[in-house]
Structure 1
Amino acid sequence: MFRTTDILLIAVMVAAAAFTYKTKGAAEDQLAAVRQIERQIRLEEETIDLLKADWSLLTQPVRLQKLAEVYQTELNLQPLLPEQIVEARDIPIKPVDEDDPGSPDAVAKGTKDATVTGSTTQ
């Protein structure tokens, strides 16, 4: 009737079919997850586009000028004078405090920084 090899081959065939079915199910689940992520990405991109459009409307110079005029007294806004605009070289350099362990010079000299962090090494 059935030989041992026949039974063994039938068992291998059933195992292969079960493995194929399981693999197909896992692949379909992964595909569904990828499609869900793609939908979320599209939604986020649309939200970003909408927010960019809102931002461009809210930051229009004409609108901001009207708001500045309406709230002039509350904000105590003054027009910018040309003398107020300087270049980076015109800003004075902050003096170095040698007692400050966090200053760049102290760190370069190898002094220990007193800042406590979550690090386990000292």
Structure 2
Amino acid sequence: MRIIHLLVIGALIFAAAYVYRIKMESTARTERVLRLHAEIREQRDAIAALRAEWSKLDAPLRLQGLAERHLPLKPLNGTQYDQLKNLPERPPRLVKPGEPDPIGAMINTIEAVVNSDTVTGSVPQPGSKR
């Protein structure tokens, strides 16, 4: 009978320790959730402040005032338009139709050099001592 009592007492102690561990884990997780909620609230407040600042900086009247102060722009008149026949001639084409684009060829060459394992003078070669 005493062995059964000892086993029951041991099981009760084990159960109490297990329940206490579960309680502590849940308390720790609750605290973590509360910290995360506080961080989320802080981030939302920061986002709201940045949006308010952006809307202040992006206000049309403010931008118009800055443009008038810092840009030498003049109002557009109806007399500033001209006819198409008065436009200058189109500049000559530098590349004949069907020929490869020289700028595209340069970009391909640059990409080939960048992607290769070429070592420049400023980069020590593997295994060398400086």
**Fold conserved (TM > 0.5)?**
yes
Using CA pairs under 8 Å that are at least 6 residues apart, name the structure with larger relative contact order, 1 or 2.
1
Residue 42 in 1 paired to residue 41 in 2?
yes
Q: Post-superposition, which runs of at least 4 consecutive aligned residues in structure 1 deviate over 3 A?
A: none
- Distance in 2, matches of 1:29 and 1:62, equals 52
Sequence identity percentage: 28
What SS is found at the alignment partner of 1:96? Answer: helix
Asked which structure has the greater CA Rg, the reply is 2
- Distance in 1, matches of 2:41 and 2:107, equals 54
Q: CA deviation at 1:23?
A: 1.1
Counterpart in 1 of 2:66?
67
Cα offsets for 1:58-116 (capped at 9, x unmatched)? 111210111122223xxxx557x99xxxxxxxxxx7432387151xxx6xxxx992268
Alpha-carbon distance change, 99 to 11 in structure 1, aligned in 2, over 3 angstroms: closer
Alpha-carbon distance change, 95 to 112 in structure 1, aligned in 2, over 3 angstroms: closer
Counterpart in 1 of 2:5?
6
TM-score by length of 1: 0.62
Tell me if structure 2 keeps the 8 A contact 1:101–1:112: yes
Can you give the 5+ residue segments of structure 2 that lack an aligned partner in the other structure?
82-100, 119-130
RMSD of Structure 2 on Structure 1 (CA): 3.0
